[in-house]
Amino acid sequence: MIMAQTLYDKIWQAHDVGQRIDGNSLLYIDLQLLHEVTSPQAFEGLQLANRPLWRVDANLATPDHNVPTDGRELGLSGIKDEVALTQVLTLDDNCKKFGVEQFDIQDVRQGIVHVVGPEQGATLPGMTIVCGDSHTSTHGAFAALAQGVGTSEVEHVMATQCLVQNKAKNFAVEVSGTLAAHVTAKDLVLAIIGRLGTAGATGHTIEYRGQAIRDLSMEGRMTLCNMSIEAGARAGLVAVDDTTIDYVKGRPFAPKAEVWDQAVAYWRTLVSDDEAVFDSVLHIDAAGIAPQVSWGTSPEMVCGIDGSVPDPAAMVDPIQAESAGHALKYMDLQPGQKITDIKVDRVFIGSCTNARIEDLRAAAAAIQGGRKADSVKEALVVPGSGLVKAQAEKEGLADIFIQAGFLWRAAGCSMCLGMNPDQLGDGEHCASTSNRNFEGRQGYGGRTHLVSPAMAAAAAVAGHFVDVREIN
Amino acid sequence: MDAFTQLEAMTAPLDRANVDTDQIIPKQYLKSIKRIGFGDYLFDAWRFLDQGTMGMTPNERQINHEFVLNLPQYQGAGILLTRDNFGCGSSREHAVWALKEFGFRAVIAPSFADIFFGNCFKNGVLPIVLEAKIVEELIAKSNGDFTLRIDLESQTVTDGERVYDFEIDSALKQKMLNGMDDIAMTLEEVELIETFEAKHKTSQPWLFRG
Ligand code: SF4
């Protein structure tokens, strides 16, 4: 009898090359995504050791982390920071030298790797995917085993097409019920991380299951899987269904004709067996989730918009109390302060978590004909790719943002990590649709609050956090 | 890769949980195409009061004299003691490069984040998991002339009086002890990989564009 398998077990098995001499498993990798920040040292290592790239067609590159989001029409000369320019040029050179397909800075398909891969159909169900970026977990929305790796592993995959890895454990996050109106995948994943903690799924691959997950669009599923790493998980997964297949169909890199049918037949098997056993399970009811806002310096420090900043003195665990105390000091918030009383200095709508077309539609709708509050210094909208940007312009979303006093920019990571000129100022509070509220992440001394696109846009108009369920 | 067999060094306590890689090495220092040059920016926002840029030396900076690694008694520490989930967040291997260049060859904590943990083993930095209670005791003892001796072969940490055993995956242990290169090891299995690849191409041809 064949043991019942989880989705993760199946993908693992389909890529398990065997054991290396030291007993570790070799996992075959189907796709490696490359960007300018974590690939140069890997390409250099490869050349120093005089090794070829194992499989050129399994690599796809685009610059995203440090590209400026304005002056894009200037191309490379729009990059004022010399070191950033060096990184982008190095990626260009390496791609040419090794024959890797790249969407360069002036290509309309350029964008954040995790937006670009799915958009092009380069991300396919059942694949194993790596990228030197922890949010590679995004691609798990397609039932692809997608993991972030360090630069040495990037080089290892370049040279061998394999990752040396031991299998992770299986974690099921079961989400029953239906999300309330205006409550999104972002709110759901923040609520899950709030429950699990930032290390709650360490050593595990999470599979998101249940009705609320089936109801999500592919874009929502990407948002969800994107933040799996914030719960410590190696990867996040959602099983294949019609939503997955409909999304992939017709994309430039997707299989065509009879190969398509063959692929679909296989993809349909990418679901956990009914009898499959998970090492850990978390049950959560979607109906009880309010729009979320993070108040601290770790994604687990989060609460509903109707809540207030917690009191470290009331926390039982001394380490948790100390972390919360540190966080409140850094964030300059008071215990008991209502979330809706937190004023916002800047707003950032973008990142691989929330910069796809649906995110921009939700943000534009939440503006409700209003304008950016005068007290808000800047509201930045950065589409996830050049194609998302073009689509948003076609739909009139860009006009809505611009008329409301928001800044409309070109694609890239931007203020998600502030490697380019888009940064938070010291002490500024930001309503951000990104994924990390770590100290200084968006700029030195900056204070990040993680929210959904609609919540960010509504905060830009009100000047402080507001409940999107009430303004509609 | 540098081998790791034994280490006797002073400890420095970083008494925080969930220290993320954005803290270990902030993003403004990722603008490099090299693997070296990151040690001066380790824990940058905590070690310094001003905002630095790549290329600045510590002499040009405003030192935060209250931060633990700047206290005179911890100068020259080679083992970092810290709390749960160390190295969470971004996958940047620069975090390990910075720790190593600064002088830390081992980090002891009750738990580590996955990617960071793996990155340590690529660079000869040993992450050691000890029970939270023991880490607590060691942190309390770290007064500036507290040294620990780590012996990877016997999987022990000792302060001269007590001996603490730690667990480690045997394959990772061998790799560290011998300073083996992962890529060279994997390439010894070329045939295995090629056989797998051929089979994979037959069963899922759509994965091969070339
Ligand atoms: S948008 Fe942010 S999280 Fe996503 S890849 Fe870019 S820097 Fe990383």
For chain A, what is the total number of helices (H) and then of strands (E)? 16, 19
A204, β-bridge pairs: A169
What is d(CA A449, CA A445) in angstroms, rounded to the nearest whole number? Answer: 13
Residue A25: its pLDDT value, please? Answer: 93
Contact (CB<8Å) B185/A21: yes
Residues near A284 by Cβ (< 8 Å), separated by ≥ 6?
A173, A174, A175, A176, A191, A192, A195
Measure in Å the smallest separation between the Cα of B45 and chain A Cα atoms. Answer: 8
- Say if residue A263's pLDDT is above 60: yes
pLDDT digits (tens, 9 = 90+) for A298-342: 999 999 999 999 999 999 998 899 999 999 999 999 999 999 999
What is d(CA B172, CA B121) in angstroms, rounded to the nearest whole number? Answer: 7
Kind and range of the H or E run holding B146: none
Report CA Rg, chain B. 20
Rounded to a whole number, what is the distance in angstroms from the first to the last CA of chain B?
33
- Say if residue A61's pLDDT is above 60: yes
Specify burial of residue A109 (Cβ count, 10 A radius: 0-12, 13-18, 19+). middle
pLDDT digits (tens, 9 = 90+) for A91-113: 999 999 999 999 999 999 999 99
pLDDT band at A396; cut points 50, 70, 90: very high
Over range A467-471, report the average pLDDT: 94
What is d(CA A111, CA A65) in angstroms, rounded to the nearest whole number? Answer: 9
Query: In 3D, which of B70, B82, B80 has the Cα closest to residue A319?
Result: B82
Residue A92: its pLDDT value, please? Answer: 97
A348, β-bridge pairs: A380, A432
pLDDT band at A153; cut points 50, 70, 90: very high
Over range A366-395, report the average pLDDT: 98
pLDDT digits (tens, 9 = 90+) for A226-253: 999 999 999 999 999 999 999 999 999 9
Could you tell me if the CB of A9 is within 6 A of ligand 1? no
Measure in Å the smallest separation between the Cα of B171 and chain A Cα atoms. Answer: 5
Contact (CB<8Å) B207/A23: no
Contact (CB<8Å) A149/B18: no
What are the C-alpha distances in Å from B85 to residues A167, A201, B74?
Answer: 20, 11, 23
Ligand 1 centre from B83 Cα, in Å?
A: 26
Specify burial of residue B35 (Cβ count, 10 A radius: 0-12, 13-18, 19+). buried
Contact (CB<8Å) B45/A439: yes
* DSSP character at residue B51: P
What is d(CA A73, CA A110) in angstroms, rounded to the nearest whole number? Answer: 13
Q: Does B131 touch chain A (CB under 8 A)?
A: no
Residue A454: its pLDDT value, please? Answer: 98
Could you tell me what percent of chain A has a pLDDT over 70? 100
Q: Which of residues 386-445 of A touch B (CB under 8 A)?
A: 417-419, 426, 436, 438-441, 444-445
Q: Does B194 touch chain A (CB under 8 A)?
A: no
Q: Is the ipTM of this complex over 0.85?
A: yes
Which residue ranges in chain B fall short of pLDDT 70? none
Residue A1: its pLDDT value, please? Answer: 55
Q: Please give the model's pTM, rounded to 2 decimal places.
A: 0.94
**Looking at A17-31, A147-161, A374-388, which range is the least confident one?**
A17-31
HSE of B184 in the Cβ direction (CA atoms, 13 Å)?
9
Q: Which residues of A62-95 are buried (b: 16+ CB within 10 A; e: fewer)?
A: bbbbbbbbeebeeeeebbebebbbbbbbbbbebb
Determine the 3-state secondary structure of A169 from DSSP.
Answer: strand
- Say if residue A79's pLDDT is above 70: yes
CATH for B6-179 is 3.20.19.10
Determine the 3-state secondary structure of B127 from DSSP.
Answer: strand
Q: Give the closest residue (by CA) to ligand 1 atom 6.
A: A413
What is d(CA A195, CA A187) in angstroms, rounded to the nearest whole number? Answer: 12
Residue A24: its pLDDT value, please? Answer: 86
Helix axes A218-226, A113-120, angle to 10 degrees: 150
Residue A343: count of CB within 10 angstroms of its CB: 13
Q: Does A159 touch chain B (CB under 8 A)?
A: yes
Residue of B nearest to A57 (CA): B210
Residue A376: its pLDDT value, please? Answer: 98
Structure tokens at A424: 């938070």
The dihedral region occupied by A304, where left means phi > 0, alpha psi between -120 and 50, and beta the remainder, is: beta
Contact (CB<8Å) A164/B186: yes
Residue of B nearest to A60 (CA): B209
Could you tell me if the CB of A356 is within 6 A of ligand 1? no
Strands (E), A224-311: 235-237, 280-285, 292-294, 302-304
* DSSP character at residue A355: -
Q: How far is CA A108 from the centre of its chain?
A: 21
Mean of per-residue pLDDT scores for chain A: 96
Could you tell me if the CB of A112 is within 6 A of ligand 1? yes
Residues near A318 by Cβ (< 8 Å), separated by ≥ 6?
none
